[in-house]
């Protein structure tokens, strides 16, 4: 597939100049999403951005590339699949960033950081033996690139790492992988459940009342907010089934100020920062993908419309 006219949704011209080689004979238009017109869309062979512009329609577009890892807002575009449009996503350091995020919060709990800070304020010298990662069972929902990177981190420290995926196919760094249909018992043996799942028809509200009723440990969500029934999560916190929750993604973002999640001591809210896209990485990934598209090379970041990721 040959690409000539590339529409970039965002005023990133100066950043692109640092990475786009002079010999690349392409025409670029850099416009904020709100300023993109029907004429711009008709001109473009390819559309690149964090999200579709308000006036988005396919026109002559053959390829859409997301600057994000997630593509839910693009999958909602009517006709994208039927018109045989290529959809790709950004793949860069997301896995490492998310694994470090998860590690930091789990170590915070195991090493009693908050408790010792409180004792310091009280000027109280009280010893307590920290727990070790090697004694933890960590169940990771989603065994793709991000899930595997998270598993690699905890496997290094000797944790018992179990994966859950649709297929149940074995993956490196997991002691075992269960298919979704056979995973009902896993929440009850997990010290930590980490979700890296994308949002699909199958994963929507997957973490529901039945799931949380089986959970005796803690829950980290770095996947998508709508995979969680937040009412069921709150109920599990109230009953004590759920010890704590680390939530980087929520069903509604920003989280409404009247949400009861804000005030809970055993809930940590972060504003969807576990894997923010660095523009430099996004541009590099786009250029690598462009080269592969034009040379008909395999695209590991191509989105499967049936799977939704």
Please report the pLDDT score of residue 75 as a whole number.
93
> What SS3 class is residue 102?
helix
What is the share, in percent, of the chain residues with pLDDT greater than 70?
100
Which pLDDT tens digit goes with each residue over 195-248?
A: 999 999 999 999 999 999 999 999 999 999 999 999 999 999 999 999 999 999
pLDDT confidence band for 22 (50 / 70 / 90): confident
CATH topology of domain 94-269: Rossmann fold (3.40.50)
**What is the average pLDDT across 176-190?**
98
- CB 141, CB 164: distance < 8 Å: yes
- Residue 135 near residue 83 (C-beta atoms within 8 A): no
Sheet holding 5-9, edge to edge: 27-31, 5-9, 46-49, 63-66, 86-89
Packing angle of the helix pair 94-110, 113-122 (nearest 10 deg)? 50
pLDDT (tens digit per residue) in 235-265 = 999 999 999 999 999 999 999 999 999 999 9
Amino acid 81: pLDDT: 84
Superfamily of domain 5-92+277-294: NAD(P)-binding Rossmann-like Domain (3.40.50.720)
- Cα separation, 240 vs 217, in Å, equals 9
Provide the pLDDT for residue 308: 87
137-141 vs 192-195, strand pairing mode:
parallel
CATH 3.40.50.720 positions along the chain are: 5-92+277-294, 94-269
Cβ contacts of 261 within 8 Å, gap of 6 or more = 230, 234, 247, 250, 255, 267, 269
Continuous H helices in the chain: 13-17, 38-43, 72-75, 94-110, 113-122, 145-156, 186-189, 209-214, 230-239, 279-294
**Other C-beta atoms lying within 10 Å of the C-beta of residue 63:** 19
Q: Is the pLDDT of residue 18 over 80?
A: yes
pLDDT for 70-110, tens place per residue?
899 999 998 888 889 999 999 999 999 999 999 999 999 99
Mean pLDDT of 35-61: 96
Q: How do residues 23-46 score in pLDDT, each as one tens digit?
A: 788 999 999 999 999 999 999 999
Q: What is the pTM of this model?
A: 0.91
Mean pLDDT, all residues of the chain: 96
Residues annotated catalytic, as ranges = 224, 272
pLDDT tens digit sequence for 112-159: 999 999 999 999 999 999 999 999 999 999 999 999 999 999 999 999
In this prediction, residue 149 carries a pLDDT of 98
Per-residue pLDDT tens over the stretch 272-282: 999 998 999 99
């Amino acid at each position: 597939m040959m690409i000539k006219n590339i529409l970039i949704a965002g005023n990133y011209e100066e950043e692109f100049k640092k990475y786009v080689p002079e010999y690349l004979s392409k025409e670029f238009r850099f416009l904020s999403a709100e300023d993109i017109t029907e004429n711009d869309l008709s001109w473009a062979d390819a559309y690149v951005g964090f999200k579709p512009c308000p006036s988005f329609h396919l026109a002559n577009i053959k390829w859409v590339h997301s600057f994000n890892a997630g593509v839910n807002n693009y999958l909602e575009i009517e006709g994208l699949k039927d018109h045989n449009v290529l959809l790709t996503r950004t793949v860069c350091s997301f896995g490492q960033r998310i694994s470090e995020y998860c590690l930091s919060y789990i170590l915070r709990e195991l090493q009693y950081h908050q408790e010792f800070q409180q004792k310091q304020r009280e000027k109280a010298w009280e010893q307590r033996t920290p727990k070790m990662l090697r004694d933890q069972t960590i169940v990771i929902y989603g065994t793709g690139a991000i899930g595997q990177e998270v598993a690699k981190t905890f496997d290094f420290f000797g944790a018992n790492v179990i994966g859950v995926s649709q297929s149940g196919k074995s993956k490196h760094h997991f002691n075992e992988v269960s298919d979704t249909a056979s995973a009902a018992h896993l929440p009850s043996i997990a010290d930590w459940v980490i979700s890296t799942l994308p949002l699909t028809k199958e994963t929507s509200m997957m973490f529901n009342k039945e799931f949380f009723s089986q959970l005796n440990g803690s829950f980290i969500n770095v996947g998508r907010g709508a995979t969680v029934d937040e009412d069921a999560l709150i109920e599990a916190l109230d009953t004590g089934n759920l010890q704590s929750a680390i939530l980087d993604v929520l069903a509604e973002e920003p989280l409404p100020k009247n949400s009861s999640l804000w005030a809970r001591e055993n809930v940590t809210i972060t504003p969807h920062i576990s894997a923010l896209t660095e523009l430099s990485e996004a541009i590099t990934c786009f250029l690598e993908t462009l080269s592969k598209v034009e040379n008909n090379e395999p695209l590991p970041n191509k989105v499967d419309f049936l799977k939704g990721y």
